[in-house]
Structures are given as structure tokens and as C-alpha cells.
Structure 1
Amino acid sequence: MSTASPSTPGTATSDPAAAPATSAPATSAPAASRRATSGTAAPEASAPGRRRIGRRLVQLYSGLALYGASSALLVGAGLGLEPWNVLHQGLAEMTGLSIGVVLIIVGAAVLLLWIPLRQRPGLGTVSNVFVIGLAMDGTLALLPDARSLAVRVPLLLAGIVLNGAATGLYIAARFGPGPRDGLMTGLHRRTGKSIRLIRTAVEVAVVVTGFLLGGTIGVGTVLYAVSIGPLAQAFLRVFAVPSAPSGSTVVAGATPGQAILRS
């Protein structure tokens, strides 16, 4: 991070009356200014940037882990999954793999589709592929079977709210969109169609395919669809990271949903 030069002129030059006639030419102000800005000034100035990027990293990985845990709660409730996890669950039923492993494989495959769309992944994009799947499988391994509605309904509601909070956390960190979100924005740019239309078409296709493969659709799917947008928007405001000063490269300059790590 660059440090501004001192604004007071002449502070680095010596008194001409005190200098002998044969002395070397006085040091130029720019050179002295460069010396004045070296030393401890740069580390002190970069400390807020380090704290900011530290907070963003915590938000990113906390959000991704909580997203995986919230998805596991929805699986445990058995009342309907979010669209992509309907597909993941169906593929897991078909292949015998865990739903978390399928999520990782599908995420990696979707990320490959970014290449012809000329999308640029960020740290959050790559982390999204692995962390959510691992957290999902880990939570499912600890989650007891829920048989009664008295347990399943609270699991469903907790999963949806936690998913909204997790979405706000990792998107507000601004380390790049997830593979599936980036696919939709890339298709939007290449086709000129609205994101709403593309998202609807992709998620309907995903849900139908997942359902045909054995994924769970239910009241939870509908409740998730109508509530996740407002929840994520509310939590984005809660977890928003203050922007870096103008000219800093610590914080990506894109919008939260499309930010790419540039530092």
C-alpha cells in the first residue's frame, strides 16, 4: 500500500546559512520525502488493511462452513431441499456417493463451464467447491435421525435461516461468487438474457433432474425459494465489510456477488 508524501514543504532540507560553502548540493525534497515515508510508516498504514482482509477471510470460511451445515439440516429435516441439493441428493442416490462428495464434483464440473464463458474465479469460488461439501458431510455424520415433525420442522426452519446468514457472510466477504452463481452471471453476459430468466430456467432444470433421480422436493423447497432472497439481503447488510480507502488493492472493487480477489 502506498503512503502519501508529507505535505509540509522544505522539512527535509538543511539551513543554507549553517552549511559550508564547499558542501555537497542539498538533498532534493522528493528524495528526502521518500526517506521520510520509509520505515515504520508503511506497516502502520497497512495495519487496517490487514485487519480488514483478516475479517474477510474469517467471514468467507465461516460462511461456507455454515452453508454446508445449514444444507445438512435441510437434508436431515427431509421436507424438501434447495434446488441444487435436490440434484446433489438425486445423484448421491444414483451413485452411492455421499451428498457432500457429489456437491464437490458438481461444483468442479460447473467451474469448468466458466472457461468458455470467460469468468474469472476468486478464492471464494474455489473454496466454495470444497468447503461446503466437506462441512455438509461432517454435519450429516453428527446429525441424529429426525423422525417426528416436532423435530423436523424446527430443523427445516433453522436450516433456512442459517443458510441465509451463511450466504450473507460469504458473499459480503467479496472473494468471488460461487460456481453456480458465476455460471448464471456468465450466461447472462453471453446471452443478454435477464439473470432472473436464466436463474429460473437453470434451477427448474436442476430440480426436475434431481427429483427424477430421487432427490427430495417438498414444502421446504418452496419455503426456501420464497425466503432465501430476503434473508440473504438482510444478512448482507449485517455482515458488510467497510470498503478500503480509494486506491487500495486489499478489497476487491466489484459488487459482493461478483467480487474477485485481486490482492
Structure 2
Amino acid sequence: MHDSPRPRLIPMTPKQQLRAPRKARRLTQLALGIVILGAGVGLFVQAGLGLSPWDVLHQGISTRLPVSFGTVIVLLGLVILLLWIPMKQWPGLGTVANTFAVGPMADLTIAVMPAVHGIGWQLAVMAAATVLAALGTGLYIGAQFSGGPRDGLMTGLHFKTGLSVRLIRTSMELAALGAGWLLGGVVGIGTAVFAISIGPLTQFFFRYTVVDIARR
């Protein structure tokens, strides 16, 4: 007896996303994923062992331009959204939620979670934060409401090339890290750990978080 195939991500227009079945499950999973992702981002900052690769890039760009760190995040996100067009990626609720809710959730986590001291605790929090970021990403993208700018680029390349999410995500993180470091962004041990592990971890969680919209 053969195992049934795992559910897969399906490219859809916003209207198709809203009309797809299992909406209550998908909306709940989307909200939960955004909360977990934001908490992971905040914990990673509080671990104090370096920024994630994309934030190294954001910081590097902000040191070269007369704009703030947050402004760079928004502007780079808009540029990446333009890359969705040739890949025929569509924004959705996940895109909006990522853009407007992950940051405030990260800020809330930073506000309630004190900075961590002691290398043992720092490493533990860094590891937990990386797992939470991957789980949150798997949950909210797996809800099939589209992803944020960077995650949408990842899934778009996955659809176009057929390469694994693990390989594409890891390659994107390493490219952002390299560019950010060249621009003067600060790199730490946490940066390397995140860059290497986020792709495989996200791929792992996708096995369990992608909602099967072919089954009602």
C-alpha cells in the first residue's frame, strides 16, 4: 500500500485563495504562523548573537543610504515584490499579514523578553528562535494565502525551477548575508546558524503545515 502524496503549495490568484476550501483552518493557521514568526524574529534579536541574514542586508544598506533601518526593510520588500511579476506570483492575505503584523509582533516580543546574557542561554534562545521562525514560516505559507515579499520570491522560484524550498531558501539567505556583509552589516554566529538552518527547517515543517486544499 502506497502512502498518499503530501499536500503541495499551489500558485493562486487572490480570488482563488479566498475561494479555496478549508478556509477556517487556513485563516487560523495563517494568524498562528504570523504570531510565531514574529516571536521568533524578536527572540533572535534578544539572543544577541547577530542578526538574521536579511537584517544584515537591511543594516548594510541603511549605512550607505540616508534612510532608517525600517525604511530599508519596506523599500527592499517593495523591490522584491516587483520580482514576483515575471514569476506570476500573486499577493494575498499572507502578504499583507507578513508586511504589517510580523514587525509589531517582533517589537512586542522584544518589549516583554529581556535581553539574554550568558553564552549558554544565548545559544539556547538563538536555537529556539530559529526553529520558531521556520515553524511560523511553514504555517503561514502553508495556509496557502501567499507569502511575504521574500517568502513569495522563494516559492516563486520553487514553482519556476522545481528546486526544493530548502535549497532556494538557503541560497537566498546566503546571498542576502554576503551582500549585507559587503555593505557593512554586522555578522555574528547567529547569522551563520540562521542562514544554514532556516532552509532545511522550513522544508521539514512544510511536510506537516501545507494545507491540502484539494480535500474539503
> When the two structures are superposed, what TM-score results if normalisation uses the length of structure 1?
0.60
Match of 2:52 in 1: 82
Q: Which moved more, 1:165-174 or 1:115-124?
A: 115-124
148 and 72 in structure 1: CA distance in 2 versus 1, 3 angstrom threshold: same
- Whichever structure has more helix as a proportion of its residues is 2
| Counterpart in the other structure of 1:123 | 93
Q: Does 1:136 align with 2:109?
A: no
Contact persistence 1:80–1:221 (CA under 8 A): yes
The reply to whether residue 239 of structure 1 matches residue 205 of structure 2 is no
Larger Rg: 1
Q: In the aligned structure 1, how far is the partner of 2:77 from the partner of 2:125? A: 25
Aligned residues: 194
Q: Structure 1 residues 223, 174: CA separation in 2 closer, same or farther (over 3 Å shift)?
A: same
Q: Cα deviation per residue 1:189-242 (whole Å; 9 max; x = unaligned)? A: 78x696788766654442123224443323222322333233223333333434
Which runs of 5 or more residues in structure 1 are unaligned? 1-48, 249-263
Q: What is the CA-CA distance between 1:150 and the residue it aligns to?
A: 3.2
Native 8 Å contact 1:108 1:129 kept in 2: no
CA distance in 2, matches of 1:225, 1:85: 11
Shift of 1:163: 1.3
Q: Is the 8 A contact 2:37 2:132 kept in 1?
A: yes
Q: Which of 133, 142, 151 is the matching residue for 1:163?
A: 133
Matched, 1:61 2:39: no
Shift of the 184–158 alpha-carbon distance from structure 1 to 2, 3 Å rule, reads closer
Partner Cα separation in structure 1 for residue 206 and residue 158 of structure 2: 23
Cα distance in 2 for residues equivalent to 1:125 and 1:93: 27
Give the match for residue 207 of structure 1. Answer: 177
Give distance in 2, aligned partners of 1:112 and 1:231.
27
Give the distance between the partners of 1:117 and 1:141, measured in 2 at CA. 38
Which of 116, 127, 131 is equivalent to 1:146? 116
Q: Distance in 2 between matches of 1:239 and 1:205?
A: 26
**Would you say the 8 A contact 2:34–2:102 is kept in 1?**
yes
- Alignment check: 8 A CA contact 1:104 1:130 kept: no
Counterparts of 1:226 and 1:153 in 2: how far apart (Å)?
15
**How far 1:89 sits from its partner (Å)?**
3.5
- The unaligned stretches of length 5 or more in structure 2 are 1-20
